[in-house]
Structure 1
Amino acid sequence: MKWGIGRFFRTIQAKLIIIYVLLILIAMQLIGVYFVSSMKHSLTNNFTKDLQTTAELMSIYAGQTLKGEEMLENERTLEELNTYVHSFFNMNGVEIQVIDATGKVLTTSVQSNMEIVGRKNTETVVNRALQGIRDNQQVIIDEDNVRKQVLAKPVFSNDKNNKIVGALYIVASMKELYATIEGINRIFVSGMAIALGLTAVLGIILAHTITQPIKEITKQATKVAEGNFAGQVPVLGTDEIGQLSEAFNYMTRRLQEALNANEEEKEKLASILTNMSDGVVSTDENGKVILVNRRACKMLDVDTEGAEGRNIADLLRVPMSQVEQLVSGQLNWILISPVEGEGHAQEESDTVLRVSFTPVHRRGEGMTGSIVVLQDVTEQEKLEQSRREFVANVSHELRTPLTTIKSYVEALDDGALEEPQLAERFVGVIRDESERMIRLVTDLLHLSRLDSKQATLRKQPTDIVEMLEDVVDRFSFQFRNRGIVAKVEAEDGIGNVVIDRDQIDQLLDNLVSNAVKYTPDGGEVTLSASLSETKQMVHLTVKDTGMGIPKKDLERIFERFYRVDKARSRNMGGTGLGLSIAREIVRAHGGDIRIESEWNVGTQVTFSLPMTFEGSEASE
């Protein structure tokens, strides 16, 4: 209960009521003090003036009566004076004493106080009056605690001598005067209490009209703080509170619009971070991870809960010194690879990530964190490595025959031309190396056209079985010389297929040539054709019983200039581009190629082409 009362007195409504009542109370107190003081002063002055007037009149009469001693000894004169005093002044609580020049009381207006007649009045004011001092007035409090005003006035003879013949001594009770003042005070206090009561009621009403809209604004502000923007503050007028209500409603609408826009931006940002191909990690000023997107977790092989709160150097598995260099701008980016270990697959160890840091600055606070961007550059690195290897291989493949040609030319120049047999052999070597370079350049140009999609496919209906038999016929001489058995196998139902016959012939020649080269004498080479289960693809296979390809080389067999046995392949006249060209030809037709091999058992190369039957578009 006490807490509730204390809380009420801390409200604006209570403060307004108290201030309003105090203002009225202070104003009425000031008015009351001034009014009561003025009224008391006025009543006291009037009371004193009345006594002064009475004393003046009495002094004139008493002066005529007290002219001589013979008159004082006359009893008739004293009775007249006594009668005059009683008849002249009959106010309640007022006593008038007529005193002769010796200070003896001649008469008194109070009948019950007649025993003092004939006695001497020794009051100080009387003595002062007998001495001729006119201003003899004072206020006393008697033994009954009654306030009285005492006045003593000298009496003159009113003749040419104008001597002092006595004095008037007046004692007037001020009880009725102060009773009147107290009554007025009571009336004033009662009126003030009634006024304060009415003021309190009016203050409550006034405070309610002021605080009720404020309460409504406070209630709505609490709802807005909790995220509820549905309500509106009622506008009850055009005064300042009404303007405040309108401003609050406007602020609520603008805040809701701003929050909606902010939420939309957050959703967009979250969607971008979630679906972007790069990994993004946000850190605070201490390097602790505060935000990580799904792509970054996948790149680093961690979950979101396991990443947040960790140090960025620990998360990236890099030294802290490198992180500091990246943050300070000494390094623009670094390349990292996820460490192979428990929970990491073998292929993940080949992943290469490019890590770049961007410091986040806040005005007046300096750096408040960093944005770390992770880019998977594995393919770029592989392409860059392939480019470097390609340039190195081309340089090597061209340098070898050029070196040979240069050596033989120098030998001829040095005198070998004088020996016909030796010169003829040297010229033959130069011719063979030149043809080898021509084949290499031709294959490179062909491969370049296939890569750049510049090679136009001249498709036409082609009998698959006939095409395979033609390939066998072209290599029949080599087959007979090596004792190799060549077979053609075709599934029933394979008819004409729309393909680029020249390109496929080149592909088959390349595959059959490799089969003949690496198959020992007396081996077997089989060319087969079959349809897929959906009848949408035709599978062409070249199978041999040669030396085979080791498993470690199968993944790289289609790379350019890659040879399983480099010395033997080069001696056989190969450029190392045949299978690369074969793959590009198959891809240009919309198919795929694969190779299966077992060491010292044989190799099987199968490529698939889409079935485009006769009646379809014949050229591209």
Structure 2
Amino acid sequence: MKSLRFYQTLQMKLIVIYVLLILIAMQLIGVYFVKTMEDSFRNNFSEDLNGKASLLAEYVRPYLAVKADLQSEETVTKKESLNDVVTNFNQIIGAEIQVIDLNGIVLSSSMYAGDVGQKNTDPTISRALQGIKDQERDVIDAFDVRKKALALPVKDGTKIVGAIYMIASMEELFGTIDSINQIFIAGTLIALALTAILGIILANTITTPIKAITRRATAIADGDFHQRLHIIGYDEIGQLGHAFNHMTMRLKEALSSIEEEKNKLASILSNMSDGVVATDDTGTILLMNTRALQILQVTEQQAAGREIADFLGITKPEIDQYVLGDDHTTVIDFHTHELNEPLKIKVTFTPIRRSEGLLTGTIIVLEDVTEEEKLDQSRREFVANVSHELRTPLTTIKSYLEALDEGVMDDPELANKFLGVTRNETERMIRLVNDLLHLSRFDSKQAVLHKQAASVEDMLEIVADRFSFQLQQKDIDIALILEDGLPDAYVDSDAMDQVLDNLVSNAIKYTPAGGQIRLEAYAVPGDWIAFKVQDTGVGIPKKDLERIFERFYRVDKARSRDMGGTGLGLSIAREIVRAHGGTIRLESGLEAGDQQGTTVTFTLPSVEKEVKNRV
């Protein structure tokens, strides 16, 4: 498998290409060269053979001319010398020779002695005797020896008197050509070997930097951005290396920036007070921040791969309407196992689109508006309560004033009664307005407390004395219980008188004749002093305990109003205690251990605590 991959590499391809180029070039050159050389050798061989034949023709022409003239007396003598000429030429040029007269009769031969006197019927000789020149042909004898046969007419002037027939071996010529071919093949092989070596070297100079770039690119893909290429030259590969190093640096900077932005985004998402959910185009959850998990009460494992519709309690078609429609916001009631009342969740759907407008996902923002809804409800109830509380006395005052204006003034007894009712209603409105101003100062943080050391015993005795007449009228017993060695409280005395007045006043209102009120004070850990106001009155139903400190909240609205209450006493008491850093709670009925009555307990700082805080 490795060898197969090697043959598919750029290095091997370059080597093969170079070798094939050299091989094809050498073959083309070799074929042309060998063909040209062979043709040249053959032409030279033919020309040389023709030259020798022409020379021999000059020598044998006198003998053939004598043979043609039968009356010549020198015929016999010259014929005897013809064999000597042929033999000498045969020895000199190494070719087989025949001298043939005009009739085709062999006069002399170096081939076979038996040919003399025989007629040679070779077509080449016949055409030569007819005066046709350049009668050549290649022949192969019985021993597979390649030879060239040549027939040349011999003329005496313009008269043909005979012919020369020569057969010369070409084995030496072909031997020379074969030797040259072997040299050429050996040169080709050497050239191919050198080309392969040079191809390997050249391919390495190209592929080695590419391999280095590939290794470093792979390392970068695996997250290692510290890769740098060593640049040797300034050619195209060197420029590629410079570009790679620059790309690596820019990529590292870009990824660092992306990572930084990702961390910022993750930190923002994690610390957002609103829940954020990212989904794809099918509604499948891709991301949920911590707040979203808390609101929906799920874990990341539970949310992974699920659709957001499974958690919001909204069907997918409804979600699509919010995503694709004009109204992207809705408020849903989200029920939980921990809370009896459902959470009010404001859900905002923001579609994510590509440049061409295709929907790719949705960002969903979850905002817990339960407290806001409660505050809005409280504001609406507050406005309604204030309006009601003011409207009732104003209506009463208006009615009595109209009655007085219509003639009741003439009846002194009835007029005084009407004026008394008007005065009471006016005082009630004044108390209501004062209480509202008092609460407003606490809400706006404008209430100023003048704290100082105050005796707990004096505080309780003063409030008991202040209500002694009312207690005596309703036949209610009051008891003061103080722990020994109790330190002074560090409080605003006037504000605490108001708290104790409100609590004792409520206890007196709702405790029947013959009942008892207990004022108790004792130390609690942390240098705090606990105050407890306990009565044996009608108590408060359990369902009303959670809202008892709300403004204008009354358990029995009609009865409370008849008793002159504004519904703000406990709210003011809670704000004053909180301003001192303490806590206040109320217990009644079953909450107080099956005991009738109501118990209000609040804590205040002691002087010792204030000293420690200053130190």
Deviation by residue 1:214-261 (Cα, 9 ceiling, x = unmatched): 333333333333334455545454444344444434444444444444
Q: Summarize the alignment of residues 274-423 of structure 1 with structure 2, pairs less than 5 Å apart.
A: 274-340=270-336, 344-347=337-340, 349-364=341-356, 366-423=358-415
Cα distance in 1 for residues equivalent to 2:21 and 2:218: 34
1:223 aligned to 2:219? yes
Deviation at 1:518, TM superposition (A): 0.9
Q: Match for residue 88 of structure 2? A: 87
Alignment-derived partner of residue 18 in structure 1: 16
Q: Deviation string for 1:128-179 (max 9, x for gaps)? A: 2222222322333344433322222222113xxx211112222222221111
Question: In 1, Cα distance between the equivalents of 2:306 and 2:282?
Answer: 10
Hey, what does 1:499 align to over in structure 2? 491
* SS of equivalent to 1:219: helix
User: How has the CA–CA distance of structure 1 residues 478 and 126 changed in structure 2, closer, same or farther, with 3 Å as cutoff?
Assistant: same
For 2:489 and 2:306, the matched residues in 1 are separated by 61
AA of the residue aligned to 2:140: I
- In 1, Cα distance between equivalents of 2:546 and 2:468: 31
Shift of 1:449: 0.9
Taking the aligned partners of 2:419 and 2:555, their CA distance within structure 1 comes to 31
- Structure-2 residue corresponding to 1:47: 45
Deviation at 1:614, TM superposition (A): 11
Secondary structure of 1:440 counterpart: helix
Q: Tell whether 2:442 aligns with 1:450.
A: yes
Matched, 1:603 2:598: yes
The alpha carbon displacement at 1:501 in A equals 1.6
> What amino acid maps onto 2:477 in structure 1?
V
| Correspondence 1:40-439 to 2 at 5 A | 40-67=38-65, 68-70=68-70, 71=72, 74-90=75-91, 94-108=95-109, 110=110, 112-158=111-157, 162-229=158-225, 232-340=228-336, 344-347=337-340, 349-364=341-356, 366-439=358-431
- 2:499 and 2:305 map into 1 onto residues whose CA distance is 57
Deviations for 1:56-91, whole angstroms, at most 9, x for unmatched residues?
222233333333423598222112222223323535
The letter for the 1-side match of 2:381 is E
Q: CA–CA distance in 1 between the matches of 2:316 and 2:12?
A: 63
> Secondary structure of the equivalent of 2:498?
helix
TM-score by length of 2: 0.92
Residue segments in structure 2 that go unaligned for 5+ positions in a row: none
Read off the aligned partner of 2:433 and give its amino acid letter.
V
The CA deviation at 1:276 is 2.9
Distance 1:614 1:373, change over 3 A: closer
Q: How far apart are the structure 1 equivalents of 2:133 and 2:73?
A: 23
Aligned residues: 607
- The farther-off stretch of 39-48 and 457-466 is 457-466
Answer whether contact 1:497 1:614 (CA < 8 A) is retained. Answer: no
Contact 2:352 2:361 in 1 (8 A): yes
2 CA distance for matches of 1:72 and 1:315? Answer: 144
Gap change, CA 1:529 and 1:328, over 3 Å in 2: same
CA contact (8 A) 1:461 1:613 kept: no
Once the two structures are superposed, what CA deviation does each residue of 1:429-451 show, in whole Å capped at 9, x if it has no partner? 22222221111111111111111
Is the 1:155–1:167 contact (alpha carbons within 8 Å) kept by the matching residues of 2?
A: yes
Aligned equivalents of 2:92 and 2:309: distance in 1?
112
1:460 is the counterpart of 2:452: yes
What is the Cα deviation at residue 573 of structure 1?
0.7
CA contact (8 A) 1:489 1:527 kept: yes
Write the distance in 2 (CA, Å) between the matches of 1:50 and 1:29.
Answer: 31
Q: Please report how far the alpha carbon of residue 5 of structure 1 lies from its aligned counterpart in structure 2 after TM superposition.
A: 3.4
Q: Deviations over 1:255-308 (max 9, x none)?
A: 444444434443443343334332222211111112223322221122221112
1:446-477: CA deviations, max 9, x gaps?
Answer: 11111101121122332221122111111111
- Which of 30, 33, 43 aligns to 2:31? It is 33
Q: CA deviation at 1:394?
A: 0.8
Runs of 4+ in 1 over 6 A off after TM superposition: 614-617
Instruction: Return the alpha-carbon distance in structure 1 between the equivalents of residues 608 and 9 of structure 2.
Output: 92
1:198 Cα shift?
2.8
Alpha carbons of structure 1 residues 61 and 615: separation in structure 2 relative to 1, 3 Å: closer
Tell me if structure 2 keeps the 8 A contact 1:443–1:577.
yes
Once residues 75 and 519 of structure 2 are traced to their aligned partners in structure 1, the CA distance between those partners, rounded to angstroms, is: 186
SS in 2 for 1:118: coil
- 1:461, 1:614 within 8 Å by CA — same for their partners in 2? no
Match of 2:573 in 1: 582
SS at match of 2:532: strand
| Segment drifting more, 196-205 vs 11-20 | 196-205
Report if aligned partners of 1:72, 1:78 keep a CA contact under 8 Å in 2: no
Deviation (angstroms), 1:403: 1.8
- The whole-number CA distance in structure 2 between the counterparts of 1:313 and 1:182 is 91
Distance in structure 1 (CA, Å) of the matches to 2:163 and 2:287: 112
Q: From the superposition, tell whether residues 230 and 495 of structure 1 become closer, same or farther in structure 2 (CA, over 3 Å).
A: closer
Deviation, 1:45, is 1.3
- 2:4 corresponds to: 6
Q: Residue 400 of structure 1 aligns to which amino acid in structure 2?
A: T
Instruction: State whether residues 98 and 166 of structure 1, in contact with CA within 8 Å, keep that contact through their aligned partners in structure 2.
Output: yes
Give the conservation status (yes or no) of the 8 Å contact 2:101–2:161: yes
What is the Cα deviation at residue 187 of structure 1? 1.5
In structure 2, how many angstroms separate the alpha carbons of the residues matched to 1:507 and 1:167?
Answer: 163
Tell me the secondary structure at the aligned position of residue 278 of structure 2. strand
**Is the contact between residue 148 and residue 171 of structure 1 (CA under 8 Å) also seen in structure 2?**
yes
Query: Over aligned residues, Cα RMSD in angstroms?
Result: 2.6
Q: Distance in 2 between matches of 1:588 and 1:567?
A: 31
Task: List per-residue Cα deviations over 1:299-336 (Å, max 9, x = no partner).
Answer: 11222211121221111112223211221143222222
SS for the counterpart of 1:66 is: helix
Greater mean alpha carbon deviation, residues 212-221 or residues 46-55 = 212-221
Does the Cα contact within 8 Å between 2:227 and 2:248 map onto a contact in 1?
no
Amino acid at match of 1:13: Q
Tell whether the 8 Å contact from 2:488 to 2:606 is kept in structure 1 after alignment: no
